[in-house]
Amino acid sequence: MILEKVIPELNIQREYKDFVDAYIDQIRAEFEDKIHSVYMCGSIPKGTAVPFKSDADFTIVCENAGDIDYGKLETIKNQLVEKYPFLTKIDTIVCPVDDVVSRPNEWGFWIKVICICVYGEDIGEQVPPIVISPAFILELNTDTPEEIERIRHSLSNADDRSLKTRYVKGYSKRLLRALYSLILEDTGVWQDDMLEMKNDLLKYCEINPAIIEYLYACYLDSHVSVEEFLEIADEAYCYVEQALQAMEISRET
């Protein structure tokens, strides 16, 4: 099975168009000679964003990630959140062109399947069709251990309530996505709607359903005990690790 694009066409709601244009204009003005293209994922390009509840997710593809001044990028994001208060936050990932092409089952998957181009030449068109297979699922999770360790460390050491809330939500979402990657051969599609993702996990994933329900509840409302959350999150990640290890062993035999 070949993974189809999550957002087949751009459908930005009228109330978000000015913001998206402003973001692209400011990014271009600041980094014009360093940027290859800009992408979005999530509810805004799908046309399902909800003011004061939805955030904005961008990916900047450039020749060299080190050329992007993250301090200036943060300033642009802060200014836009202040100007457009209906946004909860703005997230921006920076990715080198070479990584999209050379890592088709990781960055290539992200750009080709998850995102849609909003500025520049769509480099996702250079990525070959992505076939769902154990090899793809394993490569897709190459950075998962590092990402999980990073966000777990951040949550464990956060002393600000708003930061704890943000990390719990992000950690829940990351774990649900990792779990979902394990059932791709059952679903045949990548689901980016979190409710649909949860429902598919309940249908196909062999982990304790209570863990899926708990992680989804934390994604929606992350005001929970950090200690309790980490205990259940660790159990979920242990399941992911074991499933990936079994998949790797199966490929080798």
- Please, how many CA atoms are within 13 Å of residue 66, restricted to the half-sphere of its CB? 0
**Which residue in the block uniquely carries the two structure tokens 């200690």?**
227
Pick the closest to residue 219 from 182, 180, 168, 185 (CA basis): 168
Strand extents, DSSP E, 85-226: 90-96, 116-120
Q: How confident is the model at residue 87 (pLDDT cuts 50, 70, 90)?
A: very high
Between strands 116-120 and 35-41, the pairing is antiparallel
d(CA 112, CA 172) in angstroms, rounded, equals 24
Task: Report the candidate in 60, 158, 76 with the shortest Cα–Cα distance to residue 110.
Answer: 60
Positive/negative CA dihedral, 176, 179, 181, 186: negative
Question: For 160-172, how does the pLDDT look when each residue is reduced to its tens digit (9 = 90+)?
Answer: 888 888 899 989 9
Q: For 33-64, how does the pLDDT look when each residue is reduced to its tens digit (9 = 90+)?
A: 899 999 999 999 999 999 998 899 999 999 88
Amino acid 253: pLDDT: 65
Closest by alpha carbon to 58, among 83, 21, 30? 21
- The label of the residue with tokens 């099975």 reads 1
CA-based diameter of the chain, in Å?
A: 57
d(C-alpha 74, C-alpha 68), whole Å:
11
- Closest by Cα among 213, 209, 214, 207 to 228: 214
* Mean pLDDT score across all residues of the chain: 92
Q: Is residue 117 helix, strand or coil?
A: strand
For residue 119, what are the β-bridge partners?
38
Nearest of 36, 52, 44 to residue 19 by alpha carbon: 44
